[in-house]
Structure 1
């Protein structure tokens, strides 16, 4: 492996940069991290780096992998940048790569695989949106500094040349990384105008990396938030998804609301501000929802689950129906009757507009609709049939409903919180016991459709469906029964039904 050299470009910035030149060097630990990163991808750093150099073409590792190495974070990405145009990239990797794909070649990106590694090589470029376009216009360049200038943030505008290992940081990304601040290499107004999605990326990185936004970046994001309307819903959805799956999504959501970004992405969220919740009179619905999101994430982790997009969306959106259902009653009482039904509809509509997959839309809507169901449980007054219905209605969302319902308790009254926790412990134990006894998640009537037709002497039709639902309710009410008992109940029901 070649010796790894580290240097910072101390060339004075253009006037358009508006920042003084900063020379910063990696610490010994960071040097070791970069060396380890290059060593871990020896095939790319040596073979491909030498291949490009032999043909007088530049190649550098860039962006996320470099940033994450300096942060001591693992990264599975191998993003490379070069002065070679896409057709030249294809020529240089021909015979070396195990496989190549060109789905992103329109934007200067060639994807390839080599010995299990997946790489993306992108030509130095600049890209910009016209005022009404949803697609960027791409032009190619020959200078890595110009390529880094068009990157979203300085912490993503660092590179490592291959095969030499030279560290390239013309815009002070390392200093900003140490200060945990997000700045743009150029003016933020130019950056956000070129690609408005960077406004969402700013709040996403703040949540993902626990960074703050530089004042000028926050101001530009606030002033230009409406530019997000020209970005496709799919790209906005992808950034929102990454934000919600980050370690601290609350930070990103708060920034979205404070900077006016949410108005163009999730307008229902800021509308929850100051809408007093009847169960939590010292918290508005917005703050309550963020607390529920935090608590859902804590429970998600304590139960050993991976970050769960559906659960986190449901926690954030579970009370979005409250502003529309708020009513004032006597004694200064505020009510939100049926907000769960309205909220389920609103969440489905919003997530559909953001182009979330149908299963995600349906699951989140289902959880929002059910999130109040448990509050009728009291101190365990439900019968076994009511517990069965609760589990049956939750279906494959039962574990998520358990977490959401527990997280929805944000009262400061410790005695009340403890009582609610005990009650939910009780219902979970009962569901588990019933599930073991009856395989609750696969409850079926004691007679199937063919048996119903044979007993009643009828063919397929509405009557069979009604009989099936009758037997299912019977099963939920009384648990499993013998075939003979089920047949007797069915005949009795049919006699009464057919007489009508």
Structure 2
């Protein structure tokens, strides 16, 4: 009999009262040779009688559901769901989703009942609806996503009429509870053949309707370092990512800001002015850092003109010019393809994306898992940007070691403790991205792995270093200097960074602490001066 000893024990008792049939995924998986944890059964016994009998036998039944109530039993990881039906197997089968899930097995005899030819569908590796496909999807729109999951998990072809009905009725998912949609998407993300699943979801029109940030990556040409467009690259990155919901989802979303930031290299010349939109040169809005310092100065701006917001330039470099050029704008011939600050834009879009689902249900840590997702997406380029010279082969042992410690610290330190798991997650995402279709990635993988090995060693060093630090002498020093509350915390963090990165510094070295204190005082004085309102 299918099931665990606990499930079999309950089913034997119930089958002594009335015929009981195992139905659905457990029968399907058993026939395919896969284990199944949960068991769904049907019987003609009324639900109240089932509850009474189970209670009398010493079990603790739970009645779940309103429209189609089910009696559920739990023991450890085992689950058994019992529903009542009329006794007409074909009628019951026609209300189920797909024929491979409408195969019954008699608990007492072990006999297989197959009213809708589900066995033939299993043999032919064909996925089709029970009866009219449109009607089945209208009964429960989540079946459209289950269609994708089953087809990819088992490597089945989808029957044409079932596929056409799913495409036609993709909007039905708008009426499905966000919790159920999120749970189903999480299961899809965990599939071994996730690249195929993403392709089917795209063909289905799911992304275009529900996650347009992904749909518009299709056909988006990247720079010379990539061999694939942004969408095919994303699918490869998801495939390369470890099979956890957090990392697969981070991989799926890591480049959604590329459509917003796609640009071509250009120059513009003129006076930087302030406006309600920010800072401008001629007819162009500017996006960049420290633009205020260039206000009312004639400059040359080197940057990227956005493809989809052609009145905006993302700044790479600015320099002053003495004379006004004959032209105020020029695209660079065969100029570079840019996605400047795309990781920041991706992180912004992730926050909006999270409001459309309930990912806190399936991410470890709930809402803190959502924050980790946002962090990983927003920092996915940090490794490449930090170790650019090392990735090109310019490795200097001591310099790289110190750089690895700073990188690990900046990623892993949350203000209270060092989180090496966050560092490891970012390294996994970085590697998945690196191997997602970039030129010469396979040839240069040894460099990436060498850098990541150094970062992992840095994590070990930082954890051990943090454990050994004794702050008692430092605290006495800081109190003597009159540092309290916020100022004490600021000074401690300043000193912490120095002693964590390099073990030549000691918390009991008075000369070192005096030097750091003087530096802190100068920094604090400068900060206060900058905060003072300027007289006009």
In 2, are the aligned partners of 1:326 and 1:335 still within 8 Å (CA)? yes
Structure 1 range deviating more: 114-123 or 247-256: 114-123
Give the match for residue 468 of structure 1: 492
In 1, are the aligned partners of 2:38 and 2:78 still within 8 Å (CA)? no
Give the match for residue 333 of structure 1: 336
Pick aligned residue for 2:425 from 379, 400, 407: 400
Q: State the TM-score, normalized to the length of structure 1.
A: 0.79
Pick aligned residue for 1:417 from 429, 436, 442: 442
Give the match for residue 273 of structure 1: 218
Q: State the TM-score, normalized to the length of structure 2.
A: 0.74
Q: Which runs of 5+ in 1 are unaligned?
A: 1-34, 125-140, 301-306
Cα pair distance change 1:249/1:436, threshold 3 Å: closer
The answer to whether structure 1 residue 488 and structure 2 residue 497 are counterparts is no
How far apart are residue 428 of structure 1 and its match? 2.3
Aligned-partner SS, 1:160: strand
Give the match for residue 315 of structure 2: none
In 2, are the aligned partners of 1:452 and 1:467 still within 8 Å (CA)? no
Q: Deviations over 1:33-65 (max 9, x none)?
A: xx5659895413422211x32xxxx42111011
How far apart are residue 477 of structure 1 and its match? 4.8
Structure with greater proportional helix content: 1
Cα pair distance change 1:425/1:231, threshold 3 Å: same
In 1, are the aligned partners of 2:100 and 2:122 still within 8 Å (CA)? yes
In 2, are the aligned partners of 1:446 and 1:475 still within 8 Å (CA)? no
In 1, are the aligned partners of 2:409 and 2:462 still within 8 Å (CA)? no
Cα pair distance change 1:81/1:392, threshold 3 Å: farther
> What CA distance in whole angstroms lies between the structure 1 residues aligned with 2:98 and 2:12?
28
The 5-angstrom pairing of residues 42-57 of structure 1 reads 42-50=8-16, 52-53=17-18
The answer to whether structure 1 residue 188 and structure 2 residue 133 are counterparts is yes
RMSD across aligned positions (CA):
2.7
The 5-angstrom pairing of residues 444-463 of structure 1 reads 447=471, 450-451=475-476, 453-460=478-485, 462-463=486-487
Aligned-partner SS, 2:169: helix
Q: Which runs of 5+ in 2 are unaligned?
A: 266-331, 361-366, 413-420, 527-536
The 5-angstrom pairing of residues 216-227 of structure 1 reads 216-227=161-172
Pick aligned residue for 1:369 from 360, 364, 378: 378
> What CA distance in whole angstroms lies between the structure 1 residues aligned with 2:467 and 2:447?
24
Give the match for residue 90 of structure 1: 51
The answer to whether structure 1 residue 344 and structure 2 residue 347 are counterparts is yes
Give the match for residue 316 of structure 1: 252
The 5-angstrom pairing of residues 176-215 of structure 1 reads 176-215=121-160
> What CA distance in whole angstroms lies between the structure 2 residues aligned with 1:216 and 1:389?
57
How far apart are residue 383 of structure 1 and its match? 4.1
> What CA distance in whole angstroms lies between the structure 1 residues aligned with 2:477 and 2:63?
57
Give the match for residue 401 of structure 2: 384
The 5-angstrom pairing of residues 157-306 of structure 1 reads 157-296=102-241, 300=242
How far apart are residue 411 of structure 1 and its match? 7.0
> What CA distance in whole angstroms lies between the structure 2 residues aligned with 1:277 and 1:95?
67
* Structure 1 runs, 4 residues or longer, greater than 6 Å off: 411-414, 443-446
Cα pair distance change 1:342/1:441, threshold 3 Å: farther
> What CA distance in whole angstroms lies between the structure 2 residues aligned with 1:235 and 1:117?
21
In 2, are the aligned partners of 1:292 and 1:407 still within 8 Å (CA)? yes
User: Which structure has the larger Rg over C-alpha atoms?
Assistant: 2
Give the match for residue 22 of structure 2: 61
Q: Deviations over 1:375-432 (max 9, x none)?
A: 231223654343123212332322222222112124768755322x222222223223
How far apart are residue 360 of structure 1 and its match? 2.7
Cα pair distance change 1:48/1:116, threshold 3 Å: farther
Aligned-partner SS, 1:418: coil
